[in-house]
Amino acid sequence: MKPNKSKKIILIILIIVAILLLLSTLAYAYIATDIFKSNKQAFLKYAMQLISKEDGFIDKNLTSYFEKQKNTPYETKGNIKFDTSRTSNEKSLEYLKNMDITFEGKIDTANSKELQNISINYSNDVNFPINYSKTGKMVGLKTNYVGSKYLGIDTSKESDLDRNN
């Protein structure tokens, strides 16, 4: 009878140890991880980690990036595509599905200069190129379809263009 009684005691101890391990694992998962946290609790936890007392949400790396962008000329290149998920028989939506806008240029914020080559691509074969230039307060637009010179706009006199004043 003794061996049978000792087996029962060992089995009960193993079950108690297993239950304690399971409970401690669940407690650790609840306290130390985000498994049981709601979306709101998790968002608040990580939002609070982003805020620093000195800078708020913007850290020093982002601030130095903005400073570098202001003081160092850089190049731009991109593509804008239109996604029309509406199903319609309208021709304009079909044109918009096939259209995209590409741009490439240089920006020198410190010297207040910008050059951009913009192309409105209606299809693979048809496009409308536009050259954009900015020097100081002067903005210029040019397309070879209309002329070979820039059309300039002095943006320092923006209030003259506003008819509501």
What is the model's pLDDT at position 18? 95
Q: What is the 3-state secondary structure (H, E, C) of 69-106?
A: HHHCCEEEEEEEECCCCCCCCCHHHHHHHHCEEEEEEE
pTM equals: 0.53
What would the two tokens of residue 161 be?
A: 């263009």
The pLDDT assigned to 158 comes to 62
pLDDT recorded at residue 55: 62
pLDDT in tens, the chain (165 residues): 466 888 889 999 999 999 999 999 988 888 888 777 888 888 888 877 777 666 666 667 777 888 888 888 989 999 998 777 665 566 667 777 778 999 999 999 888 899 999 999 988 888 899 999 999 889 999 998 888 888 888 888 765 555 554
pLDDT the model gives residue 165: 46
Encoding tokens for residue 38? 């709601």
Residue 97 · residue 86 · CB < 8 Å: no
